[in-house]
Chain A
Amino acid sequence: MQTAMIGLKLFAELAKSKQRVRVLTFGIVIGLVCPASAFTAYVSNEKSNTISVVDTDKMETVRTIKVGQRPRGIELTKDDKHCLVAVGDDDTIQVVDTKTGEVTANLPSGPDPELFTLSPNGALLYVANENNNTVTVIDIERRVVLGEVQVGVEPEGMGISPDGKILVNTSETTNMAHFIDTDARKIIANVLVDSRPRFAAFKSDASELWVSSEVGGTVSVIDPIKREVTKKIGFAIPGLRSEAIQPVGISIKKDGKTGFVALGPANRVAVIDGTTHEVKKYLLVGQRVWHMSFTPDEKYLLTTNGLSNDVSVIDVASLKVIKSIQVGELPWGITITKH
């Protein structure tokens, strides 16, 4: 009886491995035909003053680009042709040609830019300037400042609604999410959240806004219409003191069913049910995890781990950490090509 079972299992394994070989061959052929299926991730390294370029197929750093001092916030333009990186100590946002790796222009970001976001059509850039409590609006093509909005103390997180009409900025010492009308460039509402809000992200259907509070240790779920906190997500990890749990980066899947929150020095990414807002799982990644980005197919989620100088790759379907990729020193932000 037992032998028969083992025999059956063996057969099944054999069948599986044959399948795997076939899939592999298919993959290679596809790869040869259209090598463009690989995505490219750009990681800003705060300490080395570089961008690490990571091939998401090879899962390794394939190139390093030198940029200005203290690169942090990083985004690709909508056509993937340029990578924008905030170099805070040089008081500018640099435009890097993704083909040549050369810095081709500087944007008038205002002093010490840290995080920024693009309008959905890719024409405008919204920058948080921590030193003078403003959000600066920049025309990327013409490289000019279109306006400024006065916000709370130490603006940081920037989230834009899918239709581009509402910009949400978080201010770290004021502890608010400021709702800004992007046409009028005026604050239309302020929502009080927990201490040191760092990051704001809308669901793709604009039904919810999530704001992380690094010192408060929570994520506030906000109703963007009523502009009220409807739920606070807390975190508890056995054996870890509550002070070490510091939520920063947020990535929500397009279908809104799963959200990921980077927990900083807790060295974990929390997986959250997008409907019930319950924490489903904690994934152990590298040290001091801050920002994250999905590959466009949402197969992988890449995280930057500041203290271990690497990027962790999370397999989104199986919710497993499958790889660590070495990058530069103190990796901070990450952005991945759409094409």
Chain B
Amino acid sequence: MSRFVVLVLAILFELTAAAQAEDPLEIKIGYLRRPQQQETISLVQMPSPDNGLAGAQMAVTDNNTTGRFLNQRYLLIDMHLKTGDDPAAAVHQLANQGASLILADLPADDLLNATDAGKADRILFFNVGATDDRLRQKDCRDNLIHTAPSRAMLADGLAQYLVWKKWVRWFLVVGSHERDRLFAAALTRAANRFGAKIVQERVFKDTGGARHTDSGVVQIQQQVPVFTQGVPTYDVLVVADESEVFANNLPYRTWDPRPVAGSAGLVPTSWDASNNLWGGIQMQNRFTEQYKRLMTALDMQAWTAVRMIGEAASRQNSADPSVLLDFLKGPRLALGAFKGQKLTLRDWDLQLRQPILLTDSRTIVSISPQSGFLHQFSELDTLGYDRPETQCKLQ
């Protein structure tokens, strides 16, 4: 009898061991993006074709290192939309390939299109690129987590520092495109919240034309002083130009000798390749070695999203999107992302709480929230729309 039991036990053991060795928990992640045709004024800031994707890929490698010990395997499926392609169709295609988690680097309308198309398949989305506040406000979705900071968070992070510097008189210059106006609105809101005053607002009209010309610099040197002439006394020029038409031409060329902040000069961002604080240098080294370029904010936002998936899946031992979302929304999430403190989700709009770095793109000048801006729950909630202000009803 005992021999029989031993035999059965042995077979059972073999079977479980084999099952463990052969069936890793597979976690498939889609990466949905539109072609980026963004020209930048600075030649050194031109986005690389794998901008964002590389960050996601590195996090998949990181997750797989951990997965080795937990019998979990992470896969990334890159889905590159062409102009005119329907994001909803792409979502279904990813779902058919077994992806239940999708990172999206899409404009707001495309993103909403995608999230709504993913409802039926219970897909959980991570917004890694869009900064639009409406996606966290009236257009929020209960299957959409945001690792990208919102415009309001970026503007608040900058405003806190300028107010701390006592540069409270702002000359606001706004580009003529929709997203420039949205960033300007966030900056205006920040000025009101933290006690800065906009002494004058001017619009810089995009009249078209190339960003790079052989002798363009001669004209710029003459145009910018004239454009910035005759402004009431101000401390800092704050510029909203997400479209990259003129902001980087302002520093050192203004009529009055004043610093520039916003879309040029001192820029608020979630990440910069110059960040070496809190172990960030290890992150930068790993990234540069692997991708032969510097790590951008979009790379970091994508890395963070995949790491959130890894955190939740390793602790819950599940690939089920609703199990992962429950963990990510809850109090147990404490994500390490080289920001000097744990990152958590706002449960009212699924926005990732995070410090905002202020950089002149050579060094980190400061990190917001600034000390002294207090909050009863988390000082990170002094950035962006707080719980009492939210218009988001998650559904």
Is there an interface contact between A152 and B66, defined as CB atoms closer than 8 Å?
yes
Given contacts A174-B66, A195-B342, A241-B378, contact A154 B314 (CB under 8 A): no
The answer to whether B36 has its CB under 8 Å from any CB of chain A is: no
Is there an interface contact between A175 and B341, defined as CB atoms closer than 8 Å?
no
Is there an interface contact between B342 and A175, defined as CB atoms closer than 8 Å?
no
Query: Nearest-CB distance from B374 to chain A (Å)?
Result: 9
Is there an interface contact between A243 and B314, defined as CB atoms closer than 8 Å?
no
Q: Which A176-208 residues sit within 8 Å CB-CB of chain B?
A: 176, 178, 187, 190, 192, 194-196
Is there an interface contact between A131 and B282, defined as CB atoms closer than 8 Å?
yes
Interface string of B274-297 (1 = CB under 8 A from A): 000001001001100000000000
Is there an interface contact between B334 and A217, defined as CB atoms closer than 8 Å?
yes
Q: Which DSSP category, helix, strand, loop or mixed, fits chain A's interface? A: loop
Query: Nearest-CB distance from A273 to chain B (Å)?
Result: 25
Interface residues contributed by chain A, number (CB under 8 Å): 30
Contacts of A195 in B (CB 8 A): 311, 334-336, 342
Given contacts A154-B279, A175-B314, A241-B378, contact A217 B66 (CB under 8 A): no
Interface string of B243-267 (1 = CB under 8 A from A): 0000000000000000000000000
Contacts of A190 in B (CB 8 A): 69-70
Given contacts A152-B65, A153-B66, A172-B336, contact A244 B341 (CB under 8 A): yes
Query: Nearest-CB distance from A131 to chain B (Å)?
Result: 6
Is there an interface contact between A241 and B379, defined as CB atoms closer than 8 Å?
yes
Given contacts A131-B286, A195-B342, contact A215 B334 (CB under 8 A): yes
Query: Nearest-CB distance from A2 to chain B (Å)?
Result: 49
Residue of A nearest to B374 (CB): A241
CA distance A15 to B285 in the complex (A): 65
Residue of B nearest to A173 (CB): B62
Contacts of B340 in A (CB 8 A): 265
Contacts of B336 in A (CB 8 A): 172-173, 175, 195-196, 214-215
Among the listed A130, A192, A244, which residue makes an inter-chain contact with B314, where contact means beta carbons less than 8 Å apart?
A192
Is there an interface contact between B65 and A243, defined as CB atoms closer than 8 Å?
no
Is there an interface contact between A174 and B65, defined as CB atoms closer than 8 Å?
yes
Among the listed A130, A152, A243, which residue makes an inter-chain contact with B341, where contact means beta carbons less than 8 Å apart?
A243
Is there an interface contact between A131 and B285, defined as CB atoms closer than 8 Å?
yes
The answer to whether B205 has its CB under 8 Å from any CB of chain A is: no
The answer to whether A216 has its CB under 8 Å from any CB of chain B is: yes
Residue of A nearest to B282 (CB): A130
Interface residues on chain B, size class: 20 to 34
Contacts of A133 in B (CB 8 A): 65
Residue of B nearest to A156 (CB): B279
The answer to whether A212 has its CB under 8 Å from any CB of chain B is: no
The answer to whether A246 has its CB under 8 Å from any CB of chain B is: yes
The answer to whether B380 has its CB under 8 Å from any CB of chain A is: yes
Contacts of B65 in A (CB 8 A): 133, 152-153, 174
Among the listed A112, A192, A216, which residue makes an inter-chain contact with B334, where contact means beta carbons less than 8 Å apart?
A216
Interface string of A29-66 (1 = CB under 8 A from B): 00000000000000000000000000000000000000
Interface centre among B66, B334, B340 (most CB of A within 10 A): B334
Query: Nearest-CB distance from B146 to chain A (Å)?
Result: 19
Query: Nearest-CB distance from B317 to chain A (Å)?
Result: 10
Query: Nearest-CB distance from B305 to chain A (Å)?
Result: 15
Is there an interface contact between A215 and B341, defined as CB atoms closer than 8 Å?
yes
Residue of A nearest to B64 (CB): A153
CA distance A196 to B282 in the complex (A): 13
The answer to whether B315 has its CB under 8 Å from any CB of chain A is: yes
Interface centre among A194, A241, A243, A244 (most CB of B within 10 A): A243
CA distance A190 to B314 in the complex (A): 12
Residue of B nearest to A89 (CB): B281
Is there an interface contact between B69 and A174, defined as CB atoms closer than 8 Å?
yes
CA distance A212 to B90 in the complex (A): 43
Interface centre among A175, A217, A244, A265 (most CB of B within 10 A): A175
Contacts of A242 in B (CB 8 A): 378
Contacts of A187 in B (CB 8 A): 69
CA distance A242 to B282 in the complex (A): 25
Is there an interface contact between B66 and A176, defined as CB atoms closer than 8 Å?
yes
Contacts of B279 in A (CB 8 A): 154, 172
Is there an interface contact between B378 and A243, defined as CB atoms closer than 8 Å?
yes
Among the listed A174, A178, A215, A241, which residue makes an inter-chain contact with B335, where contact means beta carbons less than 8 Å apart?
A215
Q: Which B363-380 residues sit within 8 Å CB-CB of chain A?
A: 378-380
Residue of A nearest to B65 (CB): A153
Query: Nearest-CB distance from A88 to chain B (Å)?
Result: 9
Contacts of A217 in B (CB 8 A): 334, 342
Is there an interface contact between B334 and A194, defined as CB atoms closer than 8 Å?
yes
Can you name 24 A-B residue pairings with CB atoms under 8 Å?
A131-B285, A152-B69, A173-B62, A173-B66, A173-B307, A174-B62, A174-B65, A174-B66, A174-B69, A175-B66, A176-B69, A178-B69, A190-B69, A190-B70, A213-B334, A215-B341, A216-B342, A217-B342, A241-B379, A242-B378, A243-B341, A243-B342, A243-B379, A246-B341
- Interface residues of B, Cβ cutoff 8 Å to A: 62, 65-66, 69-70, 279, 282, 285-286, 307, 311, 314-315, 334-336, 340-342, 378-380
A172-B279, A175-B314, A265-B340 given; name 11 further pairs at CB < 8 Å: A175-B66, A190-B69, A192-B315, A195-B311, A195-B334, A215-B335, A215-B342, A217-B334, A243-B378, A243-B379, A246-B341
The 3 closest A-B pairs by CB, nearest first: A243-B341, A215-B336, A196-B336
